[in-house]
Structure 1
Amino acid sequence: MAICPYAQFAQHRGGAAAAFPEGAPFGITLHRTRTGWGQAQKFVTSGKYPHFMVGTEPSSGVRTAGGTTPWGGLIQYEDTAYQTAHHRGENAKYIGIEFQSADAEDYNAVPLSNYQLAIGNLLVGWICDTHGIARKGPPSVKQVNKMERNVHGIISHADIQKGWNPGAKSNHGDRLSASDFAALGIAPWS
């Protein structure tokens, strides 16, 4: 069982998720919500959910009857030995982390909070150490193509379209900035 010691565990599927295949997970996909915490929690109940949700501030410790925490923090929805539905077509390869952003036209321009950077750094380190994932990213288009879609490292959700699926019918443009990658302790690709 791979449960992060920094997270509040609130298993979403009741253990019904499929295990990662042998050799996986070998990467992490970083996502950004386009909404606040309450709406992000509703997204999780829709069946599409990451392994982790990182709020903009620490948790209040108050849980609802459904097990969600309305005031942020770090929540783990699934054991990282199992897949979640966060990265269409690639769920069998990547662990998903969703960072709360804001309901803004350019939600990527909203910086991660100091809390998100601090707890995110611990979380990324724990995942990389637990699963042997390289703590580097994001790759360039050339690097993605060279790896034939099997990025052994850390990517933003927008990297799906950047490299291996540029014609994808997806609006997933969520990405973290280079300074966010650096603050999360993720080394640039060499």
Structure 2
Amino acid sequence: MRAEEFSALFDAASHSVFRLETLQTYAVPADDASLTAFRTGTPRPERSVSTSPWLRRVAATTIAGVAWSRVRVVEHPLTEYTRWELLAYVESQAVGEQVHMVARSDVGDLGPDFWLLDAGTPMARAVLMHYTPDGELVNRELVTDVDTVADLAARRDVALTAEAISLNAFLAHLAGRGDA
């Protein structure tokens, strides 16, 4: 699936957008500069609806009634990438996305990462995200088969009903342990 087709799916969503992330590190070239700045303690540039097309999209579609949510499966100790990614989650949450964190030990193997769009509606579809073991995106696979989409929705439900906690509770827990 080409990047333009993938992007258009988010604009077409009318009910919900869900993301399951299971890898501990993703190799995204566009993130390299920000990740390097994080490593060196350089202040992060503003990332808001004014500066980020992605956050602008999440905010606009949330206002239009689309529910955005995400479950991030984590392993302890957290990887550097996951710690860096927590900052982006705070920004996404600020524009309407509901972010939940869950320990891998609580959910086991949920299979590959995916996006689930408009689950429970006639327009339900998903995108399976295929990565190398190092977190490099290999391809995106559009799924419209009703049974496969239902299976992914069930995996979403397992992730959300396990021991998933809100991003804020997760960050408070880290701060309480001195890990934040």
TM-score by length of 2: 0.30
Higher helix fraction (1 or 2): 2
Larger radius of gyration: 2
TM-score by length of 1: 0.29
